[in-house]
Chains A and B, each alone.
Chain A
Amino acid sequence: MITIRARAHGNLRRFFPGGREEADFTVPDGSVVADLLRHIGLPDEEVWLVSVNGRLAEAEQALADGDVVHVFAPVAGGRPHRA
C-alpha cells in the first residue's frame, strides 16, 4: 500500500473526510490518479485538474508513496464553478 497526501481546492473539500482541505489516503501499490479519485469519492465531473508533486497529471499517471496530489475544481470568475 502507498500513502498519498491530497489537498482539495475550491469546494472539493466537501468530498474529503470531515470536509477537511487536506488528508492522507492509503491506496494499493500501482494505483494511478484515477484510482485515487475513485477512492476519495471524487466524481470525475467535479474535477478540473489534478497535479502530482506540483505538475499537472493525467488520469492514468502512476502514483508513488509520499506523492502530494492537488485536486482542483473548475473555476468561474473568482470562485469555484457552481455546477
Chain B
Amino acid sequence: MSNGYCGRILRIDLTSGRISVETPDDAFYRAALGGRGLIAHYLLKDLAPGIDPLGPDNEFILATGVLTGAPVAGSGRSSIGAKSPLSGGYGDAEAGGYFGPELKRAGFDAVVIRGRAERPVYLWVHDGSAEIRDASHLWGRKAHDVQEAIRAELGDRGIRVAQCGPAGEKKVRFACVSNDVTHFYGRGGMGAVMGSKNLRAVAARGGAAYEPADPERLKEMARAMSRQIAENERGFTDLGTTGIVASLNAAGGLPTRNFRDGSFEGAAKIDGTTLRDTLLVGRETCYACAVRCKRVVEVKEGRGRYAVDPHYGGPEYETLAALGSLCGVDDLEAVCKANELCAAYVLDTISTGVAIAFAMESYEKGLLTKEDTDGLDLRFGNAEAMVEMVERIANRRGLGDLLAEGVARAAEELGPRARPLAMHVRRQEIPMHEPRLKMGLGVGYTVSPTGADHCHNIHDTMFVKRVDAVKPLGILETMPVDDLSPRKIRALKRFTDLRHTINSLGLCQFVGWDYNQQVELVRAATGWNTSLLELSLAGERAANLARVFNVREGLRAEDDRLPKRFFEGLGNGPIAGTKVNPRLAEEGKGEYYAMMGWDRTSGVPSRAKLAELGIEWAAAHLPREAAERGHPDRRPAPAGKGRRGTGAPRGKP
C-alpha cells in the first residue's frame, strides 16, 4: 500500500466462486476517493436497471477511502453499498470501528461481491488473497457468537469481522451490517443484501502498513488533534451523541410518539447523563481515535428486569430516541435491552424504532388489533411490548414480519388510513431529527441519495449562532432554523457536498478536522496536490452518480417529498404548532436541484453538470424519457449506442 491506497479491488462472484482482482489507475482513486464515490461508480456501471436488490444480480460492496487506516483520529470509517432493498434506489452506509483499516492492511481498498452462494458462506480476506468458506455452522447465530466462532476457527483474535446478523439472513429490509459487533453500517438494508447472497460475514486480517506520502506531516497533525480533543472534547467524550437528547428536548425537537410530539416528558430518564450515571460501564472508540464517543452499558443477570450484554456496546442518540421517545418509552433498561437485541440480530435501530412507533400509533388508532399483535398491548409507552417487537421483527414473527418490510410497505398493506403514519422518505425511515425544528434538514431528507438521512444533511441548529466552521465553503452568515430561503439551500448544497466527500474519504464527522485540515490530511496521505475545490467536486460527483442511478431506477421528483405529518403542527413542547410550509419545502427542493445542476422540475442531472464533474459517461445511463424531461432543449442520445456501459470498458472501473 502506498500513498493511502492499495490499488487493488477484490471481485467475488458467489455463484461461480470466481475470485479476481482489479487494479484501477491512480486517476480513478483521485476522482472517486473511495467509499461513497467508489460505490456509486461501481453500482451505476455494473448493475442493470430494475434488478431485484435481494437477487444475485445486486452487488454488495465494502469500500474504504484513501484516508481509511491513516494514523490519525477519525480514519476508522468505511462504507458498504448496494441497491437498497428498502428504498429500491441507491444505498450505502458508513461505519467506524476497525474493519476498514484491517481490510486495507489485508491488501484491498474494496470488495465487490455479486451472485449468491448455494449454501451459507463467509469470506476470509487476508494478506492479499481471499477464500470463500463454509458458514453453515454460523447461520442463525447472534453476532457476537459468530465473531468469536470465526476468530477461533481461524486462530487469530485480531481478525476483524463485518457481518449481517440473523436479521439479514431473514432479509429484514432494514437489517444492517456491523463490524466488531458494535459499529454499524446502519441504513438502507445492507444486511438484507448480504443475507440474500448467503454471505454471513467477511473476515479480514493483514500486515500491510498504511504508507502515507508524508508520514511526518500526518504524525504532526495527529498529535495536534489529540491535544485539541483533550482540551475541547471533554463533554463529547463524556456523553457521546447521547448528550443531545436533553438539548433537542429542550428545543422541542426530540422526536416523540411517532413524530406527533417534539417534547418527551420522560426525556430526563433516557438522556445521556442518566445513562452515564446508571448503566454505563465503559467508553469505546474507533481506530486511532481519542474521542471515545462510543458507549458500553451493562445490566448484570438478575440485577434488573433485563440483562444487558456489554459485548454489544450501548445506545447512541439515534437509538435512545428511536426506541425511547419515539415509542413513548422512558425505561432506559428496556431501551438498552432493545439496543442490545438490535446489535445481536444486526438491525438498524432507527428503522426498527420508527417501525415500532408506526405500529404503536396504528394500534392506538385501531388499524391494528390485539389479534394482529398476538395479544400484545402495543400502545405508546409500553416498554415490554417495544422490546418484544424487536424480537419479532428480527425473526419475522407475526406482526414483525410485516414491519420487517419497512413502514412504507407495511402501510400499503394496512391501507390508506395507515399511510399518514408511515414516517419515511423514499421508503427509508426518518432519523431522529425533526424537520419542524430544522427546516433545511427537511429539504435535505427529500433530496438525499439514500432517502431520509441525517448524516449527509445539514442541521439548521449549526447555523444559528456562528458560522466560522463553514466559512471556507462560502457560508458567511448566520441563519434561523426555520429559514428555507435560497441562502439556506446554498448551505445545504455546499455542506452536503463535503459530507459526500468525507463519506468517500473514510473520515469521521465527529472528529474536529476543519475543512482546510481535511485537505491537508489528503495531501499528506496521498501526495496529491489537491484542494478544497477538488475534494468538494468529488463529493458532488458521488451525489450525481447516485442521482443518475436513482433516476435510472425510476425516481421522479414527486418521490422526493416529506411525509404529510411534517406539514401539520407539532403536538407539544416549546415549538408546538410549528409546521413546515409545503410550498417553501417544494421551492427549496427545486432550488437545490438547480444548484446541483439538475433540472429544477424533474431533478434529472444535466449533461453539462455531469461533464463538469468528469463523468459525462454517466449521461448514457439516464433513461431516454428522463433525459428528455431533464433537457427540454436537447435531443436524447441515440438509442443503441451504449445506453449502459459506455465510458470506460466494463470490467475496468
Listed A/B pairs (10) with beta-carbon separation below 8 Å: A10-B247, A14-B234, A21-B238, A49-B250, A70-B246, A74-B464, A74-B465, A79-B510, A80-B235, A83-B469
Which of A45, A70, A80 is close to B250, meaning CB atoms less than 8 Å apart? A70
Q: How far, in angstroms, from A38 to B16 measured CA to CA in the complex?
A: 70
Q: What's the nearest-Cβ distance from chain B to residue A43, in Å?
A: 9
In the complex the two chains form, is A79's CB within 8 Å of B461's CB?
no
In the complex the two chains form, is B244's CB within 8 Å of A78's CB?
yes
Residues 248 to 274 of chain B near chain A (Cβ within 8 Å): 248, 250-252, 273
User: Does A9 sit within 8 A of B, measured CB to CB?
Assistant: yes
Q: What's the nearest-Cβ distance from chain B to residue A56, in Å?
A: 5
| Extra pairs beyond A14-B232, A81-B469 (5, CB < 8 Å) | A75-B247, A75-B248, A81-B459, A81-B465, A83-B469
In the complex the two chains form, is A83's CB within 8 Å of B236's CB?
no
Residues of B within 8 A of A (CB): 231-236, 238, 241, 243-244, 246-248, 250-252, 273, 293, 316-318, 433, 454-455, 457, 459, 461-462, 464-466, 468-469, 509-510, 512, 574
Q: Return the CB mask of A42-83 against B: 1 if under 8 Å, else 0.
A: 001111110100011000000000000010111111111111
Q: What's the nearest-Cβ distance from chain B to residue A21, in Å?
A: 7
In the complex the two chains form, is A19's CB within 8 Å of B244's CB?
no
Q: Which A residues lie within 8 Å of B252 (CB)?
A: 56
In the complex the two chains form, is A9's CB within 8 Å of B469's CB?
no
Known: A11-B234, A46-B465, A83-B468. Is A77-B246 also a contact (CB below 8 A)? no
Q: What's the nearest-Cβ distance from chain B to residue A6, in Å?
A: 14
Q: Which A residues lie within 8 Å of B233 (CB)?
A: 11
- Nearest 6 pairs of A and B residues by beta carbon: A78-B241, A83-B466, A11-B235, A72-B247, A45-B465, A45-B466
In the complex the two chains form, is B459's CB within 8 Å of A75's CB?
yes
Residues of A within 8 A of B (CB): 8-14, 19, 21, 44-49, 51, 55-56, 70, 72-83
In the complex the two chains form, is B512's CB within 8 Å of A82's CB?
yes
Q: What's the nearest-Cβ distance from chain B to residue A53, in Å?
A: 12
In the complex the two chains form, is B510's CB within 8 Å of A56's CB?
no
Q: How far, in angstroms, from A74 to B282 measured CA to CA in the complex?
A: 26
Which of B236, B273, B316 is close to A80, meaning CB atoms less than 8 Å apart? B236
Chain A interface mostly helix, strand, loop or mixed? mixed
Q: Which A residues lie within 8 Å of B469 (CB)?
A: 81-83
Q: How far, in angstroms, from A25 to B480 measured CA to CA in the complex?
A: 31
In the complex the two chains form, is A81's CB within 8 Å of B461's CB?
yes
Q: What's the nearest-Cβ distance from chain A to residue B48, in Å?
A: 35
In the complex the two chains form, is A13's CB within 8 Å of B235's CB?
yes
Which of A8, A44, A47, A81 is close to B462, meaning CB atoms less than 8 Å apart? A81
Q: How far, in angstroms, from A3 to B648 measured CA to CA in the complex?
A: 71
In the complex the two chains form, is B250's CB within 8 Å of A11's CB?
no
In the complex the two chains form, is A72's CB within 8 Å of B234's CB?
no
In the complex the two chains form, is B461's CB within 8 Å of A75's CB?
yes
Which of B236, B273, B318, B465 is close to A11, meaning CB atoms less than 8 Å apart? B236
Q: How far, in angstroms, from A72 to B461 measured CA to CA in the complex?
A: 11
Q: How far, in angstroms, from A19 to B231 measured CA to CA in the complex?
A: 10
Q: Which B residues lie within 8 Å of A9 (CB)?
A: 235, 243, 246-247
In the complex the two chains form, is B454's CB within 8 Å of A77's CB?
yes
In the complex the two chains form, is A56's CB within 8 Å of B574's CB?
yes
In the complex the two chains form, is B244's CB within 8 Å of A8's CB?
no
By beta carbon, the residue of chain A nearest B238 is A21
By beta carbon, the residue of chain B nearest A56 is B574
Q: Which A residues lie within 8 Å of B509 (CB)?
A: 76-77
Which of B250, B454, B462 is close to A74, meaning CB atoms less than 8 Å apart? B462
By beta carbon, the residue of chain A nearest B291 is A79
Known: A45-B465, A56-B574. Is A77-B235 also a contact (CB below 8 A)? no
Q: What's the nearest-Cβ distance from chain A to residue B469, in Å?
A: 6
Q: How far, in angstroms, from A34 to B143 measured CA to CA in the complex?
A: 51
Q: How far, in angstroms, from A80 to B512 measured CA to CA in the complex?
A: 11
Q: How far, in angstroms, from A78 to B321 measured CA to CA in the complex?
A: 12
Q: What's the nearest-Cβ distance from chain A to residue B55, in Å?
A: 34
Q: Which B residues lie within 8 Å of A72 (CB)?
A: 246-247, 250-251
Which of A19, A44, A46, A83 is close to B234, meaning CB atoms less than 8 Å apart? A19
Q: How far, in angstroms, from A64 to B342 measured CA to CA in the complex?
A: 46
Q: How far, in angstroms, from A47 to B465 measured CA to CA in the complex?
A: 8
In the complex the two chains form, is A49's CB within 8 Å of B251's CB?
yes
In the complex the two chains form, is A76's CB within 8 Å of B236's CB?
no
In the complex the two chains form, is A77's CB within 8 Å of B465's CB?
no
By beta carbon, the residue of chain B nearest A19 is B234
Q: Which A residues lie within 8 Å of B293 (CB)?
A: 79
Q: How far, in angstroms, from A9 to B459 measured CA to CA in the complex?
A: 17
Q: How far, in angstroms, from A76 to B323 measured CA to CA in the complex?
A: 21
In the complex the two chains form, is B244's CB within 8 Å of A75's CB?
yes
Q: Choose among A45, A56, A77, A80 the residue with the greatest number of B CB atoms under 10 Å from its CB.
A: A77
Q: How far, in angstroms, from A45 to B241 measured CA to CA in the complex?
A: 22
Q: How far, in angstroms, from A80 to B247 measured CA to CA in the complex?
A: 10
Q: What's the nearest-Cβ distance from chain B to residue A68, in Å?
A: 12
Known: A11-B232, A75-B248. Is A80-B243 also a contact (CB below 8 A)? yes
In the complex the two chains form, is B465's CB within 8 Å of A83's CB?
yes
Which of B235, B317, B457, B461 is close to A8, meaning CB atoms less than 8 Å apart? B235
Q: Which A residues lie within 8 Å of B455 (CB)?
A: 77
